[in-house]
């Protein structure tokens, strides 16, 4: 009996070593059948697993990765008090500092450090409530006292901030740690846009004399409250700044960024930058010159982003000129002879919007359905004939009283504006004008052309800010230099509309004022409005989460940088059972 019990089979499963002996007891056919069965089981389990993962898992952004961008120029003041004078400074300041308000590419002007704000009934008092728990990069608390300090620093002429005139007469008061109030002398609708200026940490800057503010190393080693924290800078053996690194702020109040590190490398000009982009010394570029964009079209490692801008390019007429463009009929004829779509196709490679007036996408009153008039050379020729400009026997440019229909076009000597002027020359010569181009340097443009209003036609771009304010370009008070009403258009109805735009918070009234403004401008033909351009810049294809339909300035490419990501991870979604 003991022997029988000793050999009684157990209920245990075979061991691994026992399973490995199984093929010895199977025939060749059985081994093939078993192997086929195992393969089917493996494939079935894999298919079910894939189906489950596909149904229940999602790929989401994850922390990690680095990005290196090339920039033209060198930073001097990563400081919101001075950054507006340089695209490089403004871009880097956007990463480090935050304002009470910010520009959002989808929603426009929205609160940033502010949780909310209120405007008094007479539109002269603005009260902001800060978010709870705000901190500087050094972990000190950010309070309303920092807002007061920054505002008063801008108002202090010893700081020599270019923002001085925008806040000089405005009162500011800290009500409590989270509440700050501004008092204006009169209603000023663009005021909220000025609140996008970055805030300085008072506990650091109050120890620096105002006269030394532009000399401190904090201008290149900043401490702010934004999505990225200054880490280090690198110089070459000659002391030239070569790169700056920033790391993610894990405590950023709008949600910490995903990309761990941003590195910026600095180059003298576009030639150096484009070369660095080609040889992968940088992964992206802060801007890509319009003439170079097509060359990167087949580069699969790059994405050329093209957000729209609140800018328009136009050919401005000098209404006080002693030349032919002083005649309204000549100006109207040149407008009829202008093919706006040709500029979109040739200069902007199709990435622009033709326009007929000073309103562009993003500005109240803009109508995207407004038809763009086609070229009418016959009507243009008829107007010129009616104005006394006839084609002489034997052909050539039109003449009047022995003088040629001479249309000089002045341009800042850049490839894009030169291309615009060349296209204008081709189109206007088709109706009998004698067109010559006058390219000038930036210094000559400022000191000679703008200061002396010494031009007949000036091809240039005009850019609206976060608050689209036409005052600097079209109000009659801006006719004398340094005002920018270079066409020298004077119109009372136009002035009244611009004042309404600047002084009312009523969106309906403001939109109507913009419509009146545009109508008054176009009726006088002070310019041929050509197109609204885009802003091309390069990003590596590895970066995702970039949603940028529009920008105001190049710095706005970082408006939602905390949402960019390179790495991803899979997460399983919770399933919700629906019971009828």
Report pLDDT digits (tens) over 521-560.
999 999 999 999 999 999 999 999 999 999 999 999 999 9
Look up the CATH architecture of domain 98-225. Alpha-Beta Complex (3.90)
Could you tell me the CA-to-CA distances from 48 to 40, 477, 488 in Å, in that order? 12, 74, 74
Q: Mean pLDDT check: name the lowest of 42-46, 177-181, 215-219.
A: 42-46
What does the alpha-carbon distance between residue 563 and residue 139 come to, in Å, rounded to a whole number? 23
Query: Which H or E run includes 458?
Result: strand 457-463
Residue with tokens 């050379």: 377
Predicted local confidence at residue 59, as pLDDT:
81
Domain boundaries, the chain: 62-68+233-249+256-306+536-574, 98-225, 309-533
What does the alpha-carbon distance between residue 300 and residue 278 come to, in Å, rounded to a whole number? 12
DSSP letter (8 states) at residue 197: S
Residue 170 CB contacts under 8 Å (≥ 6 apart), including other chains: 151, 155, 182, 183, 184, 185, 191
- Using the predicted structure, report yes or no on whether residue 572 has a pLDDT greater than 70: no
Structure tokens at 515: 């419509």
What does the alpha-carbon distance between residue 551 and residue 362 come to, in Å, rounded to a whole number? 10
Burial-class residue 209 by CB neighbours within 10 Å (0-12, 13-18, 19+). Answer: exposed
Rg for the chain (alpha carbons), in Å?
A: 32
What does the alpha-carbon distance between residue 320 and residue 94 come to, in Å, rounded to a whole number? 41
Predicted local confidence at residue 467, as pLDDT:
93
Structure tokens at 59: 């790929």
Quick: pLDDT tens for 66-77: 999 999 999 999
Quickly count: other Cβ atoms within 10 Å of residue 349's Cβ: 16
Structure tokens at 481: 């230099």
DSSP 25-77: GS-HHHHHHHHHHHHHHHHHHHHHHHHHHHHHEEEEEES--EEEEEEES--S-
Predicted local confidence at residue 286, as pLDDT:
96
The correct answer on CATH 3.90.400.10 for the domain covering 62-68+233-249+256-306+536-574 is no
CATH code matching the domain that covers 309-533, chosen among 3.55.30.10, 3.90.1580.10, 1.10.1060.10, 3.10.105.10: 3.10.105.10
């Amino acid at each position: 009996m003991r022997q029988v019990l000793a050999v009684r089979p157990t209920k245990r499963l075979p061991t691994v070593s026992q399973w490995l002996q199984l093929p010895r007891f199977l025939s060749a056919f059985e081994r093939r059948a078993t192997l086929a069965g195992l393969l089917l089981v493996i494939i079935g389990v894999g298919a079910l697993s894939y189906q489950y993962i596909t149904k229940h898992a999602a790929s989401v952004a994850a922390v990690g990765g680095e990005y290196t961008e090339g920039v033209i120029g060198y930073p001097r003041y990563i400081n919101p008090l001075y950054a507006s004078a340089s695209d490089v400074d403004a871009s880097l300041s956007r990463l480090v500092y935050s304002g009470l308000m910010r520009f959002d590419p989808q929603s426009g002007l929205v609160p940033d450090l502010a949780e909310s704000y209120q405007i008094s009934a007479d539109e002269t008092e603005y009260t902001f409530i800060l978010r709870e728990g705000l901190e500087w990069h050094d972990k000190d608390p950010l309070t309303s006292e920092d807002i007061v300090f920054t505002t008063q620093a801008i108002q202090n002429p010893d700081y020599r901030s270019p923002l001085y005139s925008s806040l000089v007469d405005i009162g500011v008061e800290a009500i409590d740690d989270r509440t700050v109030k501004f008092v204006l002398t009169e209603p000023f609708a663009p005021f909220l846009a000025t609140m996008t200026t970055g805030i300085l940490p008072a506990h650091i800057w109050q120890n620096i004399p105002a006269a030394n503010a532009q000399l401190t190393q904090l201008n290149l080693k900043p401490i702010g409250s934004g999505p990225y924290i200054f880490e280090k800078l690198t110089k070459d053996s000659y002391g030239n700044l070569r790169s700056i690194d920033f790391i993610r702020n894990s405590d950023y109040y709008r949600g910490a960024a995903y990309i761990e590190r941003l590195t910026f490398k600095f180059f003298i000009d576009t030639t150096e930058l484009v070369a660095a982009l080609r040889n992968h010394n940088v992964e992206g570029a802060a801007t890509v010159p319009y003439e170079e964009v097509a060359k990167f079209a087949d580069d699969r490692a790059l994405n050329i982003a093209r957000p729209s801008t609140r800018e328009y390019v136009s050919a401005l007429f000098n209404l006080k000129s002693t030349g032919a463009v002083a005649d309204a009929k000549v100006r109207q004829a040149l407008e009829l002879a202008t093919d706006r779509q040709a500029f979109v196709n040739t200069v902007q490679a199709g990435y622009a919007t033709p326009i007929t007036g000073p309103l562009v996408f993003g500005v109240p009153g803009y109508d995207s359905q407004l038809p763009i008039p086609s070229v009418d050379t016959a009507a243009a020729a008829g107007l010129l004939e009616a104005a006394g400009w006839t084609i002489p026997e034997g052909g050539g440019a039109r003449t009047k009283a022995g003088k040629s229909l001479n249309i000089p076009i002045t341009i800042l000597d850049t490839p894009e504006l030169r291309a615009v002027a060349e296209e204008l020359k081709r189109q206007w010569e088709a109706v009998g004008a004698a067109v010559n181009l006058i390219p000038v340097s930036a210094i000559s443009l400022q000191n000679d052309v703008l200061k002396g209003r010494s031009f007949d036609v000036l091809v240039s771009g005009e850019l609206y800010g976060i608050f689209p304010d036409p005052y600097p370009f079209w109000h009659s008070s801006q006719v004398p230099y340094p005002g920018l009403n270079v066409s020298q258009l004077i119109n009372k109805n136009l002035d009244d509309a611009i004042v309404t735009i600047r002084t009312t918070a009523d969106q309906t009234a403001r939109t109507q004022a913009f419509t009146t403004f545009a109508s008054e401008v176009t009726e006088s033909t002070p310019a041929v409005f050509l197109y609204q351009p885009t802003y091309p810049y390069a990003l590596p294809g590895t970066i995702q989460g970039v949603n940028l339909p529009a920008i105001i300035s190049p710095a706005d490419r970082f408006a939602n940088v905390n949402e960019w990501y390179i790495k991803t991870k899979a997460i399983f979604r919770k399933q919700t059972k629906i019971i009828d």
